[in-house]
């Protein structure tokens, strides 16, 4: 409940409503493993089975992405799915970000 009340924007509220083990938030920052996604279209991203990039937060905009959406530096991805697939993504990108970040 505290996460719901402290949400500062629409995306944070959506993430708070979803259960933590089914959501991974990943920010595409230079110098991090996630930087490898910058410039790729969604269809080029190799996602584990049972996972989906549901939202892309870019500056003040929230985008519902589709295959041709190009990922950009600074994008915050909201990834939903099966816990096993999300753990794989967390390991691949090494820095799992909690929803509270």
* Of 66 and 94, the one with more pLDDT: 66
Judge: domain 2-92, CATH 3.40.920.10.
no
Domain ranges across the chain: 2-92
Q: What is the pLDDT of residues 39-54, one digit of tens each?
A: 999 999 999 999 999 9
pLDDT in tens, 15-33: 665 556 788 899 999 999 9
The pLDDT score that the predictor gives to residue 58 is 96
pTM: 0.74
Q: Quick one: which of 33, 39, 101 has its CA closest to 23?
A: 101
Q: How far is 1 from 16, CA to CA, in rounded Å?
A: 8
């Amino acid at each position: 409940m505290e996460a719901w009340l402290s949400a500062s924007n629409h995306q944070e509220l959506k993430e708070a409503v979803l259960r933590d083990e089914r959501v991974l938030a990943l920010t595409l920052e230079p110098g991090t493993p996630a930087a490898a996604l910058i410039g790729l279209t969604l269809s080029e991203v190799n996602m584990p089975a049972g996972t989906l990039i549901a939202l892309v937060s870019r500056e003040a905009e929230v985008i519902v992405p589709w295959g041709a959406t190009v990922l950009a530096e600074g994008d915050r991805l909201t990834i939903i799915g099966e816990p096993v697939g999300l753990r794989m993504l967390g390991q691949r990108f090494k820095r799992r970000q909690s929803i509270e970040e």
